Structures are given as structure tokens and as C-alpha cells.
Chain A
Amino acid sequence: MFKKFLFSILYNGLTEDSGLKDKSRSAVLNSISLISVVILLSYAVIDIIAKIYLIAFITATTAILILFAIILVGITKRISIGTSTVSYIAFIFFLLILATSREERAGYFWIMLFPLVSIFFLGITHGTILTVLFGLISYFLIFIYKGPADVIFIHGMGVRVMGAYIGVSLFTIAFEIIRMMAFDQLEKTTNDLVARRKQTAMIFNNVKQGIFLLDEDLVLSEERSFYFNELFGKTRINQPFLELLKDKLPNRDFIATKDYLELFFNKTVNPALLSSINPIEKVLITFDSKKAEEKQVWLEFAFERILSKNGSIEILGLFRDITERVTLEEQLIKEENESIKNMENLFQIIHVNPELMEEFLKDTSDEINSINELLKVETQDTRSLVNNIFTIIHGIKGNAMLLGLSNLSERLKTFEDYLKDLKSSTATWRELLKLTVNLAEIKHDLDQINTLIEKIISFQKLTGENVKSKKYIFEQNLKKSIDKLCKEYNKDVILDLNDYNIDLVPDKYKKLFKDSISQFIRNSIAHGIEDKNERIIKNKKPDGTIKISLEKKDDKLYFSFYDDGRGLSLEKIKKIAIEKKGYSKAQVENFTTADAAKLIFSPGFSTSDKVDNLSGQGIGMNVIKTHVDKVGGKLNLRSSSGSFCEFKILLHA
């Protein structure tokens, strides 16, 4: 408090940005003024007591003048007011003393002070002029006026005083010049330092990195980046660094960091090794662990050993926030793993027969649910529970292996092994928990496979109907052979397979269906369906239609092959019967459609006029009939002359 008061008096009149020169000037000005005021006032009091009223008045006025000037300086903040006032007062006052002093010659001593006061306060130019002027007046007062008449003047003394005055003046000028130069230099250096300091502060305040120094006791130095304080909050002076970290990292990381930082003071450990074993190169730091809302930041720390010239070691520490990067990396790795797994699954899935796959997924999902139901039942007998689960999982694993789902079967194998160990004793809750988690994983894998299959299906739907499905392939093949035949016979045919459910064809009938359909198609295009012109004349659609259908009722399969061609021509059949089969005219006279059909299916019958590699060889229909008879089916023919012909096959499913 007292110190503060003293300083405010000492630096009276200074502003915040006053330079060093002003500072020194103000300190001297204020102290000298104050001392002189005190001295002058006490002289005034002494003079009043001695009843020398004039002198008392002059002294008191001077003191008040000085005081007034100082107060003015304080108000206006202009030191020059004070310095000039004091200088001019000294000018008058010292000369007055020189003029009035008696035998003691007090003035001789006082005038020595003047060069100091004026040059110091008013600067070289102003001060020197005043000093010279003061010297001239003093010369006049000493040698010409010689003081009061009744006081003896000693000439030699006057000469010495003037000599001393000149000496003091010259010395003061020289001193002031040196002082000013020194001040200028100092000011320049200071300004430079301040500017640099400002730049450093700017960097430290704005850099988004923690920058700090640690001494040999791992105590934080005061100089560090603002970002450090922003993250770690307020720290005390001489804050040990490790103390700051303690609650913010997992304990194992903390201990590792402590050991690591201590290594820096071992000079035999090389820097490359140090930077490679940094335990907190990438670390998750939790701030404000006591509040509910916590902030977690991934930081990347780096430390550097700094060797001082005197051999002491400090550590430069750096950290930056890499939360965003780490989060992205984690996500990427996760997605990559997932997609690798998906690719593997996909590869395995596409090698599995779709029906088997579907069956497997459904069964397995049921099994998993049944395991879950087992878990829900309260039981003390975990051994039999585990045993039951083991049996189910073993079954699923067998199926998965059979289907070549190696990812899934590997997982199931691990689970199976776990259960095998568990079977031997009563399971603890930890083991049961692991069991359930295992189950969750398998369920998750199955879900993923299901999702994949759904994706494939939706992909298929998007890219076109039934891409690569059985029926699609069948239809394409059929269309190809129809097109070929159509070109040959110059016919146009549309194929209708809407009611043909290819999935109903059992393996044992595959060849029968394949042979029959190709025979019927040949038959239709060669004989049944008319060419465009004929169809138009007959008032039919220009393109002929072939419709193949297959349905299942109870345990019977109903196959139908229909064309809207000219149907069976009884006349033609009768003719051929006579020509090729040796029937008599009378025999064929009463032929019914049924008789005609029978004839068609007999060996060596063909209605075609010419024989080629496709039809008219008269063997096709008979082969079908034989095949159908062999498997215990029935082959029927329905036809209306001029409008359609339909072959029907009835089979046991």
C-alpha cells in the first residue's frame, strides 16, 4: 500500500506508454521537487521565525510554485511542464542565492547544481543554452556585482568557482549525451523484444497445438501455448505435468507415460528410440471426469529432449487434437472389415444351391430361436442346458460345412469348442454370459447373410426380371430354338410361358420334359402354325402362339403344350394312313380325332411332305409316347381343326 503510494508519487505524470526516458525524468523530477518543496518550506518556516519576511515569502512562493507545477504535471500528464518550471525556478533561485549570499558564499555551491538540473530536465539543446546563460549571469554576479558591498570578494575563489562551473557543465553535457545514447539503444532493444514477445504470444495464443516445456522434475514451465490451457484448464505455478494427466488417462497409459518421460533424462537413450516408444503417441484423454458431461479428445503427443549448454535437460512437449482423424480411421477399418467379411460371405453364398441355402437359413434361424428359448427356461442344471445347445450347434455346424459356408462354420466351431469345455462342469454366470454373446454373434452372422441375399435379390429385381434364374435360362434357350425354326419355316411365333412353373419339374422327369417340349415345338412350327399370309386370310392373329404350362394338383403334374395353328388335319392323316401305313380307304373313312391321334403317336408316322433333320422323320411323337408310358403317365391330344392343337401329359409327381 505504502509502496504503491510511493510509486504513484514517483511516477506522477507518467502515462501507460511512457518511454524509459520519461520514466527516469519523472522519477528525478518528482523526487527532487518533493524534496525541494519540503526543504524550501522548512526554510520559509525558519525565516519566518528569524523574522526575515521577504526571504520567507520568496522561499514559500517558490515551494508553492513547484508544488503547483507538479500537480499540473499530474493532471495534464505532461512532464515538460514540471521540468521547465523546476529548471527556470532553479535558474532564478540559484542566481538569487548567488547574489544575496554573504561570507559563507552558499551561492557558489548552489550554482554547481544548475547544469545538472537544466540539462537533465530540458535536454541537451535547451539545457545547454540555459546553462551557458546561467554561467554568464553568474560570471557577472561573481566578478562584477561581487555580492553585497560589505562582504569581501576573493577573486581567486571566483575564478575557481567559474572553472568548476564550466567543468560540471561540460561533464553534464557529455554524460547526458552518453545517457541519451544508452537510452536510445535500450529503448530500441526493448521495443524489439516487446515486438518479438508479441509475435511469440500471437503464435502461442492461436496455435491449435499444445506446446509446453518440462524441467528435470517434470514440472510445467509457465510459457506454453494457449491451447494447452484451453484443454487442461487452470494450473498452479510449478504444476507437475504428470499430476495433470493422472485422472485423464487409463492407469496403464499413465504409468507408461511416467516411465517414458523419465527416460528422457538418461542421455544414453537415443532420440530415435525415444520417439519410437512413445506410449501416448495416440491417446484418448477424458476431461472433467467429475461432471456428467465429459469431453473426450484423441491427442497425439510428441516429446523432444532439449540439451542446454550447461548440460541440463528439458523436455519440449507437443500435442494436437486428432479426434476427427481417429474417428474416421476407426470407421474406415470397421467398414473395411465388414465389407471383407461380406465379400467372403457372398463368395460362399453364390456357390450354394439357392434352395439348400434358403432351407439352411430358415432351419438355423429356428434352431437359434430354440436355443434362446432354452436359455429363458429357469434351470439349475446348466450342464444339460449346455449339452442341449451343444447338440443343436453341432448340427448347424455340420450343415454350414456341408454348404461350404466356411466363415460361419468356423465361428460355429469356436462356439462348439467353448461349449465342449463348458459341458464338464456347472457353468458360472460369466461363462453363461459368454455363451449368450456367442449366440448373438452367430445370429448376427446369419442376419448378415440374410441381408446379403436380400441385396442380391433386390439387385436382380432392379437389373431385370429373373436374371439368370432357372426359368429365364429355360425361356432364353427355348426362344433361341424357336427363332431358328421360325426362320427355317418362315413362320412367326410368340412363346407364352406364364403358366409354366419350371420349379415343379422333378429331376426324374427333366429329360422327358426337355425332349417332349422340343418335339412339340418342332411339330407346331413345321405342321401346326400357318405362315403369316395364311393366318391373315383365316382371320387369325399374324403371329402364332405357343403356350406351355405346368401345374401341380395333389400329387399329379399336369403338363400342356398348346398352339393356335391349324390343328390336326384329318384329311391329311387319312391320306398318310393310306399311303404310308397301308390302311384301306374304307378303314380310314370313319376315322375320329382319337383314332388320328393314336396314329400320330405310332412309330414311323409323319404328316410332313418332306423329310428333314427337324421333323417329318416320323419318330418324334412315338418316342414321347413311349417315354410317357414308361413312367406311367398319360399322353392326350386335343385339337380343333383350323384353330388349335394341344398335347397334354399327366404324370405322378
Chain B
Amino acid sequence: MDTKYIEPFIEATINVFREFYKEEPILRSPFLFDKEENLGWDLSAVIGIAGETKGVVSISFPKNLIIQLTEKLVGHEIDSLNDDVIDSTGEIVNIIAGNAKKGLEQYRLVISLPSIVEGPDHKIAWPTSSMPIITIPFDTSLGPFHLSVGLEDIIK
């Protein structure tokens, strides 16, 4: 069992949210994500991991939350999931990835740039069926979002 690859992502998420969105995300108990489950995601940023372990880390938001967070960031009103939201979220998640990388320095990992997935109630095609996906719910003052991790070597 290994959570060493996941923890830096959680810490980075909390730190970056605090710094950029001025939010204190509260972590709820993580659960096993059923690949067919719908958690009401409208925007996801997906980061690929390669190296000594392989897999995907995704941060997924419902529409309202990410719009409000972006409004906080840019300082003006936004009415839809426009390019501003997508671009800034990509940037933020990239910062989270970069931050997490610091905590992962001792491991031989390569972290890709985030790809943005957009669409109401979208699903993510997770790699290989045997890999469990662990979803970590966070609460913010504006609503919840999820950090999901599917990595090869989490289970042994």
C-alpha cells in the first residue's frame, strides 16, 4: 500500500487553493470511485504520470464552483465556462502539479502538463480496468470538488 505518490498532490492542492483562490479546502474521507459514477463534473484537469509508477491524477469541478473560483482569481464576473476559466484552471492545476513535484522529487516520476476536459457530467476514460481510482473529496466555502488518483502501484 502506498500513498506516498498521492499525498504531495493533496498538499499541493490545499496550498495552491489557499494562495490563489484564498480558499481553505477541507478534505473529506476518500472513497473508491466507480468508473461509471457521475459526480457532476463539468471541468476536469487531467495530469499524466510516468516513471516508476504510471497513471493519471485529475482535479474535477462542477461548473458553478470553478466559475466562482475563477471570478475570485480574475476579479470580474464570468457568466459561463469560457476560455478564461479553462485557461486559468489549466494554469492553476499546472502550478499544483509543479508544487506536487517538489514533494515527489525523491521518486523517479515524470509529470505531464494538465489537459482540460470540459462537458456537463463528463466521464474520464481511466487507464486499465484493474487499476482502482481513489477519489478525494474537498469542501470549499463555495462547494465541493474532487481530486481523483489512478496509479499503478498504489495497490501491491
Contact = CB atoms under 8 A, between A and B. Distances in A.
Interface in A89-117: none
Given A433-B136, A441-B156, A375 B30 contact: yes
A284 B108 contact: yes
A439 B29 contact: no
A444 B130 contact: yes
B29 A437 contact: no
Contact of B155 (A433, A434, A444): A444
A329 to B, nearest CB: 13
A149 B83 CA distance: 111
Interface stretch (B3-11, B66-74, B119-127): B3-11
Interface string A417-434: 000000000000110111
B112 interface: yes
Contact of B113 (A292, A375, A437): A292
* Chain A residues touching B, majority SS: helix
Interface string A226-257: 00000000000000000000000011100000
What class of interface size applies to chain B in its complex with A?
20 to 34
A284 B105 CA distance: 13
Contacts of B3: 430, 433-434, 437
A294 B112 CA distance: 9
A433 B30 contact: yes
B75 interface: no
Nearest to B6: A433
Most buried by A among B31, B112, B137: B31
Interface string B1-34: 1110011001000000000000000011111100
B154 interface: yes
B60 to A, nearest CB: 15
Contacts of B6: 433, 437
Contacts of A429: 10, 27, 136
A435 B27 CA distance: 14
17 contacts: A252-B106, A284-B108, A296-B50, A372-B32, A375-B30, A376-B137, A429-B27, A433-B134, A434-B3, A436-B31, A437-B3, A439-B32, A440-B154, A440-B155, A441-B1, A443-B132, A447-B130
Closest 4 CB pairs of A and B: A440-B132, A375-B31, A436-B30, A429-B27
Interface of B: 1-3, 6-7, 10, 27-32, 50-52, 105-108, 110, 112-113, 130, 132, 134, 136-137, 139, 154-156
Interface of A: 250-252, 284, 286, 292, 294, 296, 372, 375-376, 378-379, 382, 385, 429-430, 432-441, 443-444, 447
Given A436-B134, A437-B155, 20 more contacts: A251-B106, A284-B108, A372-B31, A375-B29, A375-B30, A375-B31, A378-B28, A430-B7, A432-B27, A432-B29, A433-B6, A433-B136, A435-B29, A435-B30, A437-B6, A440-B32, A440-B134, A440-B154, A441-B155, A444-B130
